[in-house]
Structure 1
Amino acid sequence: MREFSKRTAVLLLSSLALVQAAGGIAVPAAQAAGTQAAASTAAAVKINPVTMAAGVTAAIEDINIWPQSGGNILAYTLKITNNSSSTVNLQRYFSRVVTPGGSVIPGNPVTADATKKKIAAKNSMSITYYVNIGQTKSLSGVKIAMYVWDAKSKGYLKHSGSFAIPAAYSNMVATGKSLDTKMNDIPVTASAASLELYKYGGKVYAKAGINITNKGGKVLGDPGYTAYLVTASGTAFELALSSSQTGYKIQPQEKKSIYYLTEIPAYLNTTNMKLQFTQKDEALKLELPRSSFKLPAASTPNLVVASGAVKKIVVNNNTVDTKLTGASVFAEDATAVWAFQLQLKNTGNTAVTLPAYELAVKSAKGTAFPVNAKGLSGLTLKPMETKVVPLTVEIPLQVEQSSLQLQMIEAVTAAAGTDGGTSGTGDTGAASGKLIFPVAYFTIPYTLKADVRSGQEYGATNQYGSFAYSLQSLQRYPWKNDDIVLAKVRITNTQAVNLTIPELKGALKLDTDNLSATTDLLMDKEAAVLAPGKYADISLITKIPYTDEFSNVRVNLSVKSETESIPFLDFSTTSFISSVDQLKRGDSYTISGKGKNAAVQENKTTVYEGSNYNILYTEVLMTSAEKRQSKMARLQAYFKTADGQFYEAKVNQSDSLAIPGGKQLVTLWAKLPKPASTTDVSLYVGSGVTAGRLSESGEEATGFINVASLPLTPRAVVPANNLQNVVLYPYTLNVLTSDASHVEASDTVTLNITYNLTRENSYDAGESEHKLVLRITDPFGQSQDKVLAIGTELTEGTNHNFAVSFTKNLYRQITGGSYKLTVYDEFQGERQELGGQTFTMRFIPLPKVEDEEKETGK
């Protein structure tokens, strides 16, 4: 079958095959003389065969006329039967067509039969001939004369007999009747199916159908015929095969309905139309007539599909149920943004591929707004398979939104036609081009898109499956000079089979501010395939100036694609910003995530008081809840004071892998103005993110998620009155002995300390930012400081010694007394006293002169 201009038509019928045992052509008797109604009666007149020679007869099988601009072509098929015992040479037999006006025109075989020369004994053969009969339009009065070569006869031709076509004869199969014939040498039964008229875009389209039943044992393919819609007056319009049936096949014993389309003038009289088939003889450059069928009275189908109703469409004889679902709309600026889904189910027994459809939303005033139908055209559906195609369209708010229709249009390439797309009388038919043929008008229910409420669950279906979704939280919290806005969405698989979530990208829109370019999406890739009942959490994070306000948030999830935007989920909410999780004092902050599960608990919070500002300092213990060695989440945090001010915390965290149950000591600190209260302070803490994923060691975080407020308990450090157990995490210093000695008249004091220094090894910590400062206060009350480097000047272990000297001119006057050792924790230039203890200074006098003399005299 040609595609449209080249494959337009189908069918049928290489012969009328009405010649049965009688050997003649069946002629329907007329209900009234000279009327075409003769084709509707069951009575028949037979034309007897003509004897050509002993044992050789000729019978007429088929005869048709097809009007053409260069003269009307009459084609007739003769069946030559050889019942003799020898081979018959067909070159001895001739036929002539005698017109009602008396013209005698020799018949010539068509190209396909030109090579048929002989008939073997006891065989028969069908041969089709054609003649140009000029302006003769009717078969009435036409005769076919048969001749045999005879050298003794005048003109060497002997007249054997004639076939006279009765005036009542019609080659058109009546409405409601069927025709048994052969197509591609396969027996078939054919009958007219329907004639439907459609109006669209100010034009009228006709859709003609024919039923074919394959009675053979082989698959019936395309015969390569051309189809025409012919009016009662003879005007012909070349038809295009419906694109939903291109390349059709009919299985043995299967019945199919084949449909053809064309545009016709609005004024055309559609009474008593017929479906005519022709076959092109390329070598002869002729169009040879084949069978024709009288079509039923034209009807105009109602294509409007009620809201929620199913529209059945036939694609290659498979029924596909179509239904418009999930229609919703919300206003955006001056535009109504519509979203809906077209659900399709193949109810047939074979796979089907949808043809090219065009979709548009039409307003009550006739304005059409195109809808991208790329996901629909060419879609393949397996038997009993259901697929959902998401669709979106934007319509100006000034258009009435309550009476819209989704128009489903079949785009068909029009037949090229003959002589400019026409035949017969020369009236204009369907010219080459594109036929925009309506299939269905789906009523779009006007339902404002529901405002999604936090914590409530909603259902959704798209091409990836059915699921429930909920807005878990909508949060806003500080990030440097901006605020972070985070929407956390949960997707739950409500199907009985796995749900595969494609790779998504996210966009947040706050009121009219579209932040798609700056929105990051975070989802555990391991959760991309959800078993029934399982869920995945998706976080969308963006930043806005901290002074901005908004009342509406739109959340959009779409499938990552380089060529188009494929929607996955879209909703809006006016839910209030939910506060971050408020933990109770002493509770642990829990981190969840594959390979990141951990608990965070306050270990110590204190304030380093300075002259210009205070340092708020916190230590937390982070305990891994993983069963394997893992990388811990990178913490990010802010201190929040009682008056609502936020101060970014600097974080010091170990880069080491954590063992199962392992702990890390993480320090966080920030500088606060002196007037800022630290009596009621909390820590906004979360997991750092970088480029749409959780941050790794050494990466600079661009935000943080899963934020919770951890109340802190600042405590002032009470200095110990001794130096037995001075704690400076992760170290503990125990001074065992202290010996400060001074030699009389010397300007130097020598200090020797014996100590134990132990390290807490139950957790990892980042490189310490603390300094241990030793201060000695001499008997005069003056002090000198020494920064002790742990690891070099002070080493881990027991009974270690440390010696240091202090020099001052004033020390020449020391004759004894006490001194005090004080240990300080210095952090970012500010100090806290950890403990102090007073010791007696050992005075070493110089020897006196008399004592030296006595000693000498001895």
Structure 2
Amino acid sequence: MRHSIRKTSIFISLLMVLVVMLSAVPSSFAAATAEAAVNKKVYITKASYVQLIDANLIPSSSGATASFTFTFYNGDSKDLILNDYWARLRSVGGTKYTLTLLDQTKKKIAPKSSATLTFYSQVGSKASLDQLVINIIKFDFSVSGYERTVAKYTFPKGYSNFVKAGGFKTILVNNSNVNVRIDQINVRKKDKNYEFNLSYVVRNTSRFGVTLPQYNYYVQTSAGLYKLSLKNKTDETLLLEPTVLNAVRLTGSIPSTLAITGWKLIITDNAGAEANKVELPVVTLDIPFKLTTTPAGSSVTTFTNESGTYEVTLKSVQRLPWTTKDRVIAEMVIRNKESVFVPLPDLTGQFVIDENIKLDSKIVAGTEVIGLAPGGSATVHFIGEIPFSYSWRKFSLQLSEKTGEQTNLLADLTKSSIAAVPTVKAGSVYTQSVAGSQLTAQVTDVRTYKGEDSDIYAVYVEVTNKQNRSNFLPAWAGYFKTADGNYYEVKMVKANNVIKPSNKEQIILYADLPVNANKEGIQLLIGEAYDDSGVIMGTGTAKGYIRPIQLELPAEKTDISSFKQMKAGPYTVDMTYFNAFMDGYLLDIDMGATLVKDRMYDGFTQNKLTMVLEKERTNEVILTHTIDLEGKSDGGTTWKVGENYSELTKDMTTTPVWDDYTLNIYETFEGHKIKLASVDISWSTYINWLDGTH
């Protein structure tokens, strides 16, 4: 008796543990188990089986349409005759439904191969899969009723076959396996309706291309079905190449009085003759979403067009001086929200100032970007102009797209603050990583070239090509800004050369300044120049500039006592020898120099020096001689890379000659000149005036 009680106690304890363990099984595991039970293989011979691979139930005009897809596998050594088999459908309450076979041309299955059969039937509007029972029967005239059930399929309570959010389903398209999933949903409220836009993606996982059928598309809501149409008509004949991910975009209008929870996308295919056409379910997908809204004052929104779904962000708004007005530069980032490549949309933009003032704008074309990878982005600039004296309180950018004769407003973005121009400290390197324009830039020298009525203030900038291909580098435009707030337009000199990867070019940015202009604290405001065709690559006439930077400039070098490290373009000149004497009326000069060239420069314009012997107190010049660095000089001297020694003579019979002069080395630019080195000399047959002791 005691032993029996102990056994009973142990049994109850084990039972309680089992109950606790079962209650702890994750719902996903339970769902997977239920799915496996529904899709079980049932052997109809020792080697052949039937398997339910899909079951769907969707609303229809006459109630609901149920469809069931089976795979029959023949593992035997002789043909499996399909005419020997059929499917029977009934409700758990005993109501019988008549099934129709979708493809009635399949009669038999060869050994070691399979075939897929789909049966469908109209059922009641309140039917659910868990209330249906489907049997596979074999005609057998040896049994009562001549039918023998070989497989029976039922569905657990609450069973549904829709694809949950984030999931995918494999469907059959002409015997090819195609994966289907939701990609993007963009729903906006407009007047009394929701503008519904959805894209789903398909990938053909088979070995041969197949055309996507002309499916029907519906949104299932609590109030019923609403038909969607293809946003792009070319998708009617979309060819699904193997492994390629394709996007199909749908659109429709749905009353905004409906609750937006529990919506599903139903895809159906037409079956039967036109007179008896029926729509069979292909797949049902859960489509949870939130309404796309752009709050007042927002700088970010999403829109959908025929090509895809995009997110646009008004990144910054800048005002830059240009001639007599300010250029307004609206920099916008456009991002691909889809899982497939999409083209860059053709957008137009209009600036709206303080609610009611509309300004025309134009887009500056990029140099490289024509499409966007999944999740990829591109930056575009909209350009307008405004009187420099006007200050706004609110700034908006309205984006539109023209389709045929109709212009559609896609987005209204707001950003009223003006973005500061980034400053590059003196001696620092500016790096730019824009597609098609990867480069670095650094100021290497500042020079004031003297003239009679004005000075030329020039800034030398070294620009390096950081792309992996040879290319023209962009032109630059902008303004010099003095400490007292005056602006002087920048002019540019650059070679129109292709620059190899990692090589560089020297550009000269300059302005004509009044002789008495205060250059202390002067700053350089520049950006990439553009014209009507977009960013200027190489040379051209600028109509403005984008991506501005403000360069702090180093102090100008004023020491002219050394004849070493004299710069002209990519060349460095060290003059090491200079001797001059009079031989009767003949001036005889001997000079020597070392010339070094930075061969990383593919583009430059400066390559000459000018040697002058002059009496500075009286402005008397007795000799002006051009030194050409690696070039051809008419009447001058050419120096090559390496050591150079030159002699020149001049008849001074008609020229008054003094005993002492000043040797000056100049560089000239745009008719102005700068003194690079200077030393006082006198005639001597043996003195080297550049030996460092004079």
Q: 1:548 to 1:381 in 2, by over 3 A?
A: farther
Q: 1:698 to 1:840 in 2, by over 3 A?
A: closer
Q: Say if 2:560 and 2:677, in contact at 8 Å, map to a contact too.
A: yes
Q: Does 1:326 align with 2:188?
A: yes
Q: 1:811 to 1:524 in 2, by over 3 A?
A: closer
Q: Say if 2:447 and 2:459, in contact at 8 Å, map to a contact too.
A: yes
Q: 1:767 to 1:584 in 2, by over 3 A?
A: closer
Within 5 A, what are the aligned runs for 1:142-541? 253-254=121-122, 325-327=187-189, 341-343=195-197, 351-352=215-216, 387-388=250-251, 449-453=295-299, 457-461=300-304, 464-495=307-338, 497-498=339-340, 500-511=342-353, 512-516=356-360, 518-523=361-366, 526=369, 528-532=371-375, 534-541=376-383
Q: 1:499 to 1:389 in 2, by over 3 A?
A: farther
Q: Say if 1:507 and 1:515, in contact at 8 Å, map to a contact too.
A: no
Classify the secondary structure of the residue corresponding to 2:434.
coil
Q: Say if 1:503 and 1:560, in contact at 8 Å, map to a contact too.
A: no
TM-score by length of 2: 0.55
Q: Which runs of 5+ in 1 are unaligned?
A: 1-175, 177-212, 220-250, 258-322, 330-337, 355-372, 392-401, 404-444, 845-858
* Deviation (angstroms), 1:594: 2.8
Q: Does 1:597 align with 2:438?
A: yes
* Deviation (angstroms), 1:600: 0.2
Q: Say if 1:655 and 1:697, in contact at 8 Å, map to a contact too.
A: yes
Q: Does 1:800 align with 2:645?
A: yes
| 1:633 equivalent in structure 2 | 474
Give a deviation string over 1:152-211, Cα, whole Å, max 9, x none. Answer: xxxxxxxxxxxxxxxxxxxxxxxx9xxxxxxxxxxxxxxxxxxxxxxxxxxxxxxxxxxx
Q: 1:806 to 1:734 in 2, by over 3 A?
A: farther
* Deviation (angstroms), 1:217: 8.2
Give a deviation string over 1:589-609, Cα, whole Å, max 9, x none. Answer: 222233421100110113234
Percent identity, aligned pairs only? 19
| 2:86 equivalent in structure 1 | none
Which residue among 531, 536, 555 is the counterpart of 1:714?
A: 555
| 2:678 equivalent in structure 1 | 836
2:190 and 2:608 map into 1 onto residues whose CA distance is 60
Q: Does 1:699 align with 2:553?
A: no
Which AA in structure 1 matches 2:683?
M
Which AA in structure 2 matches 1:741?
F
Q: 1:389 to 1:676 in 2, by over 3 A?
A: farther
| 2:667 equivalent in structure 1 | 825
* Deviation (angstroms), 1:638: 2.1
Give a deviation string over 1:77-134, Cα, whole Å, max 9, x none. Answer: xxxxxxxxxxxxxxxxxxxxxxxxxxxxxxxxxxxxxxxxxxxxxxxxxxxxxxxxxx
Q: Does 1:732 align with 2:577?
A: no
| 2:606 equivalent in structure 1 | 768
1:778 and 1:447 map into 2 onto residues whose CA distance is 76
1:588 and 1:711 map into 2 onto residues whose CA distance is 11
Q: 1:739 to 1:555 in 2, by over 3 A?
A: same
1:779 and 1:509 map into 2 onto residues whose CA distance is 61
* Deviation (angstroms), 1:679: 1.3
Give a deviation string over 1:805-840, Cα, whole Å, max 9, x none. Answer: 26365637x6xx444322122333333222123334
Q: Say if 1:390 and 1:462, in contact at 8 Å, map to a contact too.
A: no
| 1:58 equivalent in structure 2 | none
Q: Does 1:741 align with 2:581?
A: yes
1:779 and 1:635 map into 2 onto residues whose CA distance is 41
2:494 and 2:232 map into 1 onto residues whose CA distance is 55
Which AA in structure 2 matches 1:522?
A
Which AA in structure 2 matches 1:805?
K
1:664 and 1:531 map into 2 onto residues whose CA distance is 36
Q: Does 1:684 align with 2:521?
A: no
Give the greater-gyration-radius structure (CA).
Answer: 1
1:757 and 1:339 map into 2 onto residues whose CA distance is 77
Give a deviation string over 1:732-755, Cα, whole Å, max 9, x none. Answer: 3444443433355x4x53444344
Q: 1:734 to 1:502 in 2, by over 3 A?
A: closer
Q: Say if 1:606 and 1:715, in contact at 8 Å, map to a contact too.
A: yes
* Deviation (angstroms), 1:699: 3.3
| 1:570 equivalent in structure 2 | 411
Q: Does 1:623 align with 2:487?
A: no
2:437 and 2:499 map into 1 onto residues whose CA distance is 10
Which AA in structure 2 matches 1:531?
P
Which AA in structure 2 matches 1:450?
A
Which AA in structure 2 matches 1:570?
A
| 1:606 equivalent in structure 2 | 447
* Further displaced range: 602-611 or 780-789: 780-789
Aligned alpha-carbon RMSD (Å): 4.5
Which AA in structure 2 matches 1:766?
F
Q: 1:768 to 1:480 in 2, by over 3 A?
A: farther
Which AA in structure 2 matches 1:612?
D
* Deviation (angstroms), 1:519: 0.8
Give a deviation string over 1:308-347, Cα, whole Å, max 9, x none. Answer: xxxxxxxxxxxxxxx9942479xxxxxxxx997334799x
Classify the secondary structure of the residue corresponding to 2:656.
helix
1:782 and 1:376 map into 2 onto residues whose CA distance is 82
Q: Say if 1:341 and 1:462, in contact at 8 Å, map to a contact too.
A: no
Classify the secondary structure of the residue corresponding to 2:406.
coil
2:435 and 2:294 map into 1 onto residues whose CA distance is 39
| 1:656 equivalent in structure 2 | 497
1:340 and 1:681 map into 2 onto residues whose CA distance is 57
1:832 and 1:592 map into 2 onto residues whose CA distance is 35
Q: Which runs of 5+ in 2 are unaligned?
A: 1-61, 63-96, 104-118, 126-184, 201-212, 219-227, 239-246, 258-290, 687-694
| 1:274 equivalent in structure 2 | none
1:376 and 1:385 map into 2 onto residues whose CA distance is 8
Q: Say if 1:510 and 1:551, in contact at 8 Å, map to a contact too.
A: no
Q: Does 1:643 align with 2:484?
A: yes
Q: 1:390 to 1:605 in 2, by over 3 A?
A: farther
Which AA in structure 1 matches 2:335?
T
1:475 and 1:786 map into 2 onto residues whose CA distance is 49
1:465 and 1:729 map into 2 onto residues whose CA distance is 50
Classify the secondary structure of the residue corresponding to 2:405.
coil
Q: 1:525 to 1:553 in 2, by over 3 A?
A: farther
1:788 and 1:385 map into 2 onto residues whose CA distance is 70
Which AA in structure 1 matches 2:328?
V
| 1:811 equivalent in structure 2 | 656
Which AA in structure 1 matches 2:424?
L
Q: Say if 2:479 and 2:488, in contact at 8 Å, map to a contact too.
A: yes
1:339 and 1:711 map into 2 onto residues whose CA distance is 56
Which AA in structure 2 matches 1:451?
G
1:525 and 1:761 map into 2 onto residues whose CA distance is 28
| 2:67 equivalent in structure 1 | none
| 1:54 equivalent in structure 2 | none
Q: Say if 2:457 and 2:511, in contact at 8 Å, map to a contact too.
A: yes
| 1:97 equivalent in structure 2 | none
Q: Say if 1:641 and 1:680, in contact at 8 Å, map to a contact too.
A: yes
Q: 1:842 to 1:712 in 2, by over 3 A?
A: closer
1:374 and 1:513 map into 2 onto residues whose CA distance is 38
* Deviation (angstroms), 1:446: 14
